[in-house]
Amino acid sequence: MGEGSPEAVLRCEGLRKSYGGLVAVDGVGFHIAPGETYGLLGPNGAGKTTSISMIAGLLERDAGEVMVAGKPLTTRSTDAKRVVGLVPQDIAIYPDLTARENLSFFGRLYGMPKVELKQRVAEVLEIVGLADRAGDRAEEYSGGMKRRLNIGIGLLHRPRLLILDEPTVGVDPQSRNAILESVERLSVEGMAVLYTTHYMEEAERLCDRVAIIDSGKIVAEGTRRELVELVGQHDRVRLTATGDLKAAVDAACAIDGVKGADVIDGGIDFLADRAGDRLIEILTKVGASGVIVSSVRVEEPNLEAVFLHLTGKALRD
């Protein structure tokens, strides 16, 4: 699916927003095809929510363009917003209404006819697992239940583009799994999904493509494989060890398949192809040089590592 592809459900480019002197979003652009799930991965303050708010037509932008299903979308375009579903990062529901009332209310604003709405509300209540509490006021829900209702409102009108801004923060693993499953199912049905998260596992599990965003800019974008290749396709072996670490590094570097090694604080970091196969060999060599190893960790390359490599920062503080 090329850059200017007409089939893209979402196409945005050159998004810019500054608050006073602070440039919160600086030239963000990407596109999402039907059925594709696109992840925005970045630390706190990277500009994820600001980008999403501009895309959903909630925030006036300084520059840039957003096209949804071929129509330009601004804060004023009610027509293009019809096909977008938004799950905001901050829970936005009426605490004094029940889940069913909250869903029905927003469903009406999406212009859903009453009869269809009633049936769909019941479906969504099932999806987010609130069917048995549907008649209780939202203020009586736990944090995770409120969050599930928050998600439900975004799904209600079967949008062509579903935007989820860190939807699973504070949700227990079981409900989180249910939510991820429903997002996967929607994606299979052809819905385009824009997903921001701090959780690496979610991005890796859900997203067909991921953009890494930092300080308002997308620093890398691609499938997981593409991103991993950016950093070099190596596993990482991390030893916690004491002794003559420098000698151990020299010794281990001679092993076939070991691409590099560094002395780090309190241990050694190796980069290797198929590290699992070479672990015994590495440990033997290191042990022979008089170093005492207290723990070993093998990491396959993941987005966290990519992120660290690209930005020099950990994803979560």
Partner 1 sequence: MGVPEKGCDAVKALVIGANSVRRLLRDRANIFFVFMLPMLLILVLGAAFGGGSDPRMGIVAEGSGRLGAELADSVRQTEGVDVRDYPDKDALVVAVERGQLEAGLIIPVGYDDTLRGGGSVALEFVARTDPTSQALRNTVDSAAVRQGTLLRAAAFAESQGVMEFSDALELAGRVAEASPEVLVTQEAVGEPFVFQRLGTFDMGAYSQLLLFIFLTSMTGSSALIQSRRLGVSRRMLATPTSVGTILAGESLGRLAVALVQGLFIIFGSAIVFGVDWGDPVAAAAIVIVFSMGAAATGMLMGAVFKNDQQAGGLGVVIGLGLAALGGCMLPLSIMKLFSPGLWRVAHVTPHAWGIEAFEEIIIRDGTVADIGLQLAILAGFAAVVFVLATWRLRVALTRS
Ligand X SMILES: Nc1ncnc2c1ncn2[C@@H]1O[C@H](COP(=O)(O)OP(=O)(O)OP(=O)(O)O)[C@@H](O)[C@H]1O
Per CB under 6 A, residues contacting ligand X are 19, 22, 24, 42, 44-50, 89
**Among residues 3, 4, 14, 58, the one that binds partner 1 under rule CB under 8 A:** 58
- Least distance in Å: CB of 205 to ligand X? 19
**For Mg ion, the closer CB: 49 or 102:** 49
CA distances from 79 to 10, 71, 82, 207, 299 (A): 15, 8, 6, 28, 47
- What residues have CB less than 8 Å from 269, skipping those under 6 apart? 236, 237, 238, 239, 261, 262
With contact defined as beta carbons under 8 Å apart, do 293 and 193 qualify? no
Place of tokens 């590290």: 275
Contact 237, 281 (CB under 8 A): no
Out of 28, 40, 93, 245, the only residue in the binding site for partner 1 (CB under 8 A) is 93
* Part of the chain binding partner 1 (CB under 8 A), chosen from 4-12, 107-115, 164-172, 186-194: 107-115
**Minimum CB distance to partner 1, residue 32 (Å):** 17
Query: Closest approach of Cβ 63 to ligand X, in Å?
Result: 16
Is residue 101 within 8 A of residue 93, CB to CB? The reply is: no
How open is the CA angle 83-84-85, to the nearest 5 degrees? 125
C-beta of 51: minimal distance to ligand X in Å?
Answer: 7
Q: Contact region for Mg ion (CB under 5 A) — 44-52, 185-193, 245-253, 282-290?
A: 44-52
Which residues ranging from 87 to 126 are in contact with Mg ion (CB under 5 A)? 89
* Sole binder of partner 1 in the list 42, 47, 57, 267 (CB under 8 A): 57
> Smaller CB distance to partner 1: residue 96 or 116?
96
CB-wise, 18 or 89, nearer to Mg ion?
89
- Interaction between residue 105 and partner 1 (CB under 8 A): yes
Quote the least distance from Cβ 89 to Mg ion, whole Å.
5
Partner whose footprint covers residue 307, from Mg ion, ligand X, partner 1, none (CB < 5 to 8 Å by kind): none
Which of 97, 122, 279, 296 is the binder for partner 1 (CB under 8 A)? 97
How many CA atoms lie less than 13 Å away from 214 in the CB half-sphere? 15
- Site for partner 1 (CB under 8 A): which residue of 68, 130, 153, 258? 153
Residue with tokens 């009453």: 114
Closest approach, Cβ 225 to ligand X, in A, equals 25
59 binds partner 1 (CB under 8 A): yes
Alpha-carbon distance of 275 to 16, in angstroms, equals: 43
Output the DSSP codes for 83-149: TEEEE-SS----TTSBHHHHHHHHHHHTT--HHHHHHHHHHHHHHTT-GGGTTSBGGGS-HHHHHHH
189: contact with partner 1 by CB under 8 A? no
CA atoms within 13 A on the CB side of 67: 18
The pattern of x and - marking residues 15 through 44 that bind partner 1 according to CB under 8 A reads ----x-------------------------
* Helix and strand element counts for the chain (H, E): 11, 14
What is residue 72's three-state secondary structure?
strand
| Chain centre distance of CA 66 | 20
Kindly list the residues in this chain that would bind Mg ion in the complex (CB under 5 A).
Answer: 48-49, 89
Kindly list the residues in this chain that would bind partner 1 in the complex (CB under 8 A).
Answer: 19, 56-60, 75-76, 78-79, 81-82, 84, 86, 88, 90-97, 101, 105-106, 108-111, 153
